[in-house]
Each structure stands twice: as structure tokens, then as C-alpha cells.
Amino acid sequence: MNKANLLRMMFLGLLLGSAACAKPEVRNISVTIMSFNVQNLFDNVDDPGKDDKAYLPIELKQGDSHVAACTKIDVQSWRNECLHLDWSDATIDLKLTVLAETIRQVNGGLGADVIAFQEVENQAILDRLRSEYLADLGYEPAILIEGNDVRGIDVAFLSKLPLAEPPTLHPLSLRNFSERAGDTRGVLQATFTLPDGSRLTGFSVHFPAPYHPLEMHIAAYEHLADLLDELPDTHHAFAAGDFNTTSKEDATAGVLDKFARPHWIIAHDIGCDSCRGSYFYHRDSTWSFLDMILFAPGRGGKTTAQIRADSVQIANKFAAQRGADGTPLPFRAAERTGVSDHWPIIATIEFAKKQ
């Protein structure tokens, strides 16, 4: 073999070797999002500074000081829970087990890629769910930043996607309602790296409860829109959680038309045609999409993104989630039944390289 041919073969070998080592180009990516209000996911350790006294083992509820504190609660059901709920290790195990089964019904047992949670007491209890009950699904460590809700419930994420930057908790900006701040949760912002290197920013939210004034709900939507506007235009974004907008409030005040749809695509607007809602009010027999997934595609990046319409569903196939009347069955420790008073909603976002 002459010297010229030898050099050509060596050069070809280098090219083939480089191609074999190069990272394959990722053209199409899909990410499934779940929003899940888990209804009081607490540990059973008293957290100083938080009103978590209902979520203790029954043997720690016998002292005079505990009983006296409980009797001051005005709402009878909450007072009874404070006095008599046995939030034992066995109860927590059952709670975590049924939450895990609810999550596993998605993606053929693999769970959603990103889950936005509401009503989680702390990172430790969510990491127990991840590491002990969902250990085989590949979730990264739980994302939760403690907020100021007086009960100690927080918003959080579990994700299979790695974080691109540290998460941020934005205290809810409610201007004229500062005296109600103790009954609010912040907006948790986390930006994830997609397999092609692009960015997906998520907001996990738990807006003020329906009994608060309409103006307070509007302020929460406006704050979320402001956070979206602050993102780089290369970021795709979603907001998922318990928005606490009832069907009645939306019908009378046009909340979603005025304060959500101008900024976001609402998942159940384009899919879930047969879905009635994620929450049922027994007192007036009405359904509401309290739980929603909102999406805003980035405009300046290298990928396009859209929600796949047929992916938008209410995740309620696990039998323990449904009562005899077909509505969400709350978790009841004494009866060892139920999962949560909310049903999760899911949607898949598909990303493709721009042509």
C-alpha cells in the first residue's frame, strides 16, 4: 500500500471514529406533564411554626394543650380531624402507596416525566414517595422550597428531566390582600433541560381557595402572566397546578378568557373532550377544572412545541380514586380508602426541530 492510500485510510478512520463518538441529534421529543393535588401529604412530625397538629399519631394528641388547641378550630370537620385523626406510620405508608399507584397509571406504568404537586408538607415526605415508592421510575430529587402557608402545605415538582438552574419560589403578589398571605402558596419556578439542550420552564401553582375574593384570584393570574413575560423567548413554558377557579366563577366572571387564555394554551381546551373536570362540589353537584395545565411555546429557540390534543386526560383509572358515585374519593385514614379529593390531569408536549 502506497503512502497516499495509507493516509486516506487513516483519515477515513478518524472521520468514522468521530461520527461514532458524536452525540446523536435529537429531533423529536415528548414530555408528559401531570398536575396532582395530593390532599395533605404530611409527615407525622410536629413542625414548629406550622399548623400541622392534625397530622400526628393519635398517641401524641392526648395532652391537654393539644386538645385545647383543637377545640378552638371553628370548622367541625377540621376540629374532629385535629382531635381524632391517627396520622400513624401505617397511615402514611398507605397514603404514599395509593399516591404511587395513581402516578403509575400514566405512560404504561412509567409515570409522567414532570409532576407538579400541591399540598405537600416538605421535601422529605416527597422524597420518600420518590425513593421508596417510585424508586424504579427515574425521578430526580424532589424540588420544593418552603413557603409561608400557615398550614405548611407547599407546591413542588418531581421530574425525570435535570434542572438547568436553581429553582425559585415567588411569593404570590396579591397587592391589596397582604393580610391573607398566610393562606397562599408561592409560585415555584423550575427550568429543565430537554434532551436536545433546549429549556422547558415549569410553574407549579396553588392559587387562593375559592372562598377568597374574585380580585384575589385575578391578581394571582396576573402575577403568573408577569412571570411568564420575564422568561427568555427561547424557553418553552408550562404552568400546572390547582388554580382554584370554579366553573361557576369562570362562567360569571370570564376569568380564564380574560386572564389565562391571552397568555396560555389551556390543555383541556384542545383535548379531554369527554372530561367533566378534576374536582366535584357535592354541595351543588358541579364539576370544575380546578386543576389545569397551561402551556406557552417559546418563539425564539430552535424547536417548535405543541400539546398533543389526544394526550390530555384526567388520570382516574386507579379504582381507589373513585367513590361509588364516580367522583373523586378523598383519602380517609380511618376507613383506609381513597387517594385525594382532586383527580390529576395530564398532557404531553411534543417538541420538534424547526425546519
Element (H, E) at 124: helix 123-128
pLDDT of residue 24: 46
DSSP string, 19-79: HHHSPPP--EEEEEEEEEEEEEE--SS--TTS--TTSS-GGGG-SHHHHHHHHT-SSHHHH
Contact 325, 13 (CB under 8 A): no
Summarize pLDDT for 163-176 with one digit per residue, the tens: 999 999 999 887 77
Among positive and negative, which fits the CA dihedral 33, 35, 40, 46? positive
Regarding pTM above 0.85, the answer is yes
Using CA atoms, how far apart are residues 262 and 276, in angstroms rounded to an integer? 23
Using CA atoms, how far apart are residues 69 and 80, in angstroms rounded to an integer? 12
pLDDT of residue 25: 53
Summarize pLDDT for 266-324 with one digit per residue, the tens: 999 999 999 999 999 999 999 999 999 999 999 888 889 999 999 999 999 999 999 99
Summarize pLDDT for 260-275 with one digit per residue, the tens: 999 999 999 999 999 9
Domain ranges of the chain: 32-39+111-353
Higher per-residue pLDDT: 49 or 109: 109
47 confidence band (pLDDT: 50, 70, 90): confident
184 confidence band (pLDDT: 50, 70, 90): confident
18 confidence band (pLDDT: 50, 70, 90): very low
pLDDT of residue 179: 66
The answer, yes or no, to whether residue 6 has pLDDT greater than 80, is no
The answer, yes or no, to whether residue 216 has pLDDT greater than 50, is yes
Summarize pLDDT for 55-96 with one digit per residue, the tens: 999 999 999 999 999 999 999 999 999 999 999 999 999 999
Contact 280, 286 (CB under 8 A): yes
For helices 76-84 and 64-71, give the axis angle rounded to 10 degrees. 170
CATH topology of domain 32-39+111-353: Deoxyribonuclease I; Chain A (3.60.10)
Element (H, E) at 199: strand 199-206
14 confidence band (pLDDT: 50, 70, 90): very low
Average pLDDT score over residue span 145-174: 94
* Strand 265-266 to 279-281 pairing: unpaired
The answer, yes or no, to whether residue 204 has pLDDT greater than 90, is yes
Grid cell listed for 59: 398517641
Contact 311, 273 (CB under 8 A): no
The answer, yes or no, to whether residue 3 has pLDDT greater than 50, is no
